[in-house]
Amino acid sequence: MLTRSEDAALLVGRVLIAALFLPSGYSKLMAFSAFSASLAAKGLPYPTVIAGVLVAAEFLGPLALVIGLWPRWTASALIGFVAATLWMTYGPFATGLILRPRQNVEFFQNLALIGGLLFYFASGPGGWSRTRLR
């Protein structure tokens, strides 16, 4: 059983992580065809399908995160989204870290975000969530 301050900390953490994803997910949803075209320009197969999955993860995932629904599924989907973004940005072997050293900070920020989502996966949403209110 968590204390009120721990529940509040988990709620604030969920909202702050969602604040990172939600604006960008909303903008990609509103400009879906442009986002799909950018994926096609990178040479990805089935860019519309990939864009649909990525937009769903980036827009619906933070909403579920704030509400506290399905914590393990939500964390897994957002971790997959961040991992896919890292793979598309740096390639499968992260050679971009060597070729673009100024982007190392962004790479490690994304790794820290995955770490925060893993904490959410392990700890759950806390008492102030839809999951606990059932």
pLDDT in tens, 107-116: 888 889 999 9
pLDDT in tens, 8-66: 888 999 999 999 999 999 999 999 999 999 989 988 889 999 999 989 989 999 999 99
61 vs 106: which has the higher pLDDT: 61
Concatenating the DSSP letter of every residue in the chain gives: ---HHHHHHHHHHHHHHHHHHHHHHHHHHHTHHHHHHHHHHTT-SSHHHHHHHHHHHHHHHHHHHHHT-SHHHHHHHHHHHHHHHHHHHHTTTTTHHHH-GGGHHHHHHHHHHHHHHHHHHHH-S-SSSHHHH-
pLDDT value for 85: 85
